[in-house]
Amino acid sequence: MVHNAVAAKLEGWQMAGKGLWGMASRRKRMSEEASQLARVLNLVDLTLLGVGSTLGLGVYVLAGQVANETAGPAVIVSFLLAAVSSFFAGLCYAEFAARVPKAGSAYVYAYVAVGEVAAFIIGWTLILEYAIGTASVTRGVSSYVDALAGNVISTFFNDTMPLHTQTLAEYPDFFSFAIIAVMTCLLAFGVKESSIVNNVMTFLNLATATIAVVTGAIYADPKNWSLAPHFNPTTSKTDAGGFLPYGIKGIVEGAGTCFFGFVGFDCIATTSEEAKNPRRNIPWAIVLSLTIITITYCSIAVVLTMLQPYYVLDLTKPFTVAFEGMGLYAIEWIVTVGAIFALTTSLLGTMIPLPRIMYAMAQDGLMFALFGRVNSFTKTPLIATAVAGGLSGVLALIFDLNQLIEMMSIGTLLAYTVVCMCVLILRYTDTRSRGSPPNEKSERITFGRSVAALVNWERADKPSKLTTGAAGVLVFAEILLTLALCVLLKMSGDELYNDPMPWLGPLLALLVPLVIVVVMLGQQPKTNVTHLSFSVPWLPYLPAISLFLNLYLMVNLKTETWVRFLVWMLVGTVVYFSYSLRHSTERLLEIEEKKRAAGNGVSAPPQLDELPMSALETRTHL
């Protein structure tokens, strides 16, 4: 009796486990339907789109702020570090864009490669990421408009409604709220992402940055890189002076903020259905735009820190204030107006993808169907646009720029991490073997064979079910070890720079196994990618470094940021279990197919996701 009860319970758990696994691993199938959108964007349009939506606060706000408060003149190194981590992530996005030429960015990639739960997590994170992106860029626009208006806006709000809290902004920025409301109305009424407007604005943006760099270079004084130690009124501390006034730690911390400046290129990946030859043009547009962005940020950083001592740089409008101080009023005016244009372009780049992601998720049944409704009059997802605007508006109202920047970075970093993991998984897994039982005798997987597979003992040259399992275990181990290493590095903090000896042992105890795991992963057979127009080089080392950088930047964010993020994820969990799980289009299709198969007494038709990735196309239209 007891025995039976236990067996029944065990079986129950097994079923539940299978159900969970089925849900987590349910992947999006693709249909061959062509997209309804016109393919009009060429390589130049796509590159300018990437540059336009990425180049923004990094140039006009962050360079000065990071130089003043966190890194000193070494802000250029922070920018380079941020560039490297964004570049690596960019390469992973590029490979995905070559594989899945579909709108929806990381959300769709995760749905195709990993499964529904991962896709939901990413989609949900992206909603926050874009809403915060919108809010923060708007805050930037608001402070530049305020500067143009002689600070009347900020003075007014500061005097009439100061918020005396630690966790929120100094005053509720109703001006930012209004900017978002106006832009939302424009977008809702179908202001199409007109590529010509974007090209012109981006051109103005680059021209302004060039004017700032050239003028700055004329007045630059290299002495500003070797100043004596100085009391910094912003941080109220005396720093070390020179190129590295805040030490290496400052560089790393600064990189976390500079990273924000590189966010936005993924907007190229959301236009896949409007691009000409997306499999070739999207990857290259990503690489090209990141190159232009890196060059611009680095030049800006050099010029700015040579123009003025880092500790006097203004925290919100460094160029405007610097040129004003030097009496270059014409240049000051050009840069301020240019900044407003540049930030507006960047704003459009954040506001446009958000409703589209909500729309894509709604089409897949993972988000409320309401968001998938296209208004017959405006021909835009009106409700999704309005909700997106409302969410961003509220965020812009109550949080200040620094809080927003941190919160956005956490979302972006998570998306990058998942895309990078997806590349690893796709490269080492035989997608066709998933879920099918091993039928041939040689495919019988014994424990011994599984362990030996970790070093690819059988010298397989193509992924099989066996090597796929081994690669999965190794990727998982790699993620855990990388995470542990990052946490330890964070814990060691300053001490590691001052007295590294006690930390060396534990660090090596994690680093060595990590390197071994990565090398073992390198032994695994990879899928053939010769048909792809772009693939990530140096596998698995490049994604491994990318994973490390992303996780490292993530653990360095503030605790409050993590708490806010976890609250958002908790809400997401509730939404997933109470809504998405039941409405998932893929799940409903699965059930339908099973029913049909049972009715006909024939086996279910071959899963579409067993087709090679190159033959796939989504069924959603965006």
Ligand X SMILES: NC(=[NH2+])NCCC[C@H](N)C(=O)O
**34 forms bridges with which residues in the sheet?**
none
Closest alpha carbon to 201 in 337, 401, 319 = 337
- Residues within window 158-197 making contact with ligand X, judged by CB under 6 A: none
Which residue stretch of 84-92, 129-137, 569-577, 586-594 sits at the interface with ligand X (rule: CB under 6 A)? 129-137
Kindly state whether residue 58 participates in binding ligand X, applying the rule CB under 6 A.
Answer: yes
Torsion angle (degrees, nearest 10) of CA 16, 20, 21, 27: 140
Q: Which is nearer to ligand X, 290 or 521 (CB)?
A: 290
For ligand X, the binding residue among 57, 81, 358, 362 (CB under 6 A) is: 57
Closest alpha carbon to 65 in 260, 333, 294 = 260
Which residue stretch of 51-59, 387-395, 445-453, 540-548 sits at the interface with ligand X (rule: CB under 6 A)? 51-59
Kindly state whether residue 105 participates in binding ligand X, applying the rule CB under 6 A.
Answer: no
Sequence-distant (6+) residues with CB within 8 A of 508 are: none
Specify the residue for token string 């992206």.
126
Sequence-distant (6+) residues with CB within 8 A of 290 are: 50, 83, 86, 87, 90, 262, 265
Count residues binding ligand X (CB under 6 A): 15
For ligand X, the binding residue among 101, 241, 261, 318 (CB under 6 A) is: 261
Kindly state whether residue 137 participates in binding ligand X, applying the rule CB under 6 A.
Answer: yes
For ligand X, the binding residue among 350, 482, 584, 618 (CB under 6 A) is: 350
CA dist 390 → 306, 346, 351 (Å): 41, 19, 12
Kindly state whether residue 331 participates in binding ligand X, applying the rule CB under 6 A.
Answer: no
For ligand X, the binding residue among 41, 100, 258, 263 (CB under 6 A) is: 263
Closest alpha carbon to 286 in 572, 60, 534 = 534
Which residue stretch of 78-86, 151-159, 260-268, 550-558 sits at the interface with ligand X (rule: CB under 6 A)? 260-268
Q: How far is the CB of 271 from ligand X (least distance, A)?
A: 13
Q: Coil, strand or helix: which one is 584?
A: coil
Q: Which is nearer to ligand X, 122 or 137 (CB)?
A: 137
At 348, list the tokens: 């459009």
- Residues within window 303-322 making contact with ligand X, judged by CB under 6 A: none
Q: Which is nearer to ligand X, 177 or 428 (CB)?
A: 177
Indicate the residue type of 586.
E
The angle formed by the CA atoms of residues 413, 122 and 465, to the nearest 5 degrees, is 100
DSSP H helices in 149-240 = 152-160, 174-188, 195-219
Q: How far is the CB of 416 from ligand X (least distance, A)?
A: 12
Kindly state whether residue 264 participates in binding ligand X, applying the rule CB under 6 A.
Answer: yes
Q: Coil, strand or helix: which one is 409?
A: helix
Distance from the Cα of residue 311 to its chain's centroid: 31
Q: How far is the CB of 429 from ligand X (least distance, A)?
A: 29
- Residues within window 377-416 making contact with ligand X, judged by CB under 6 A: 408
For ligand X, the binding residue among 70, 346, 392, 403 (CB under 6 A) is: 346
Q: Interface with ligand X by CB under 6 A: which residues? A: 54, 56-58, 129-130, 133, 137, 260-261, 263-264, 346, 350, 408
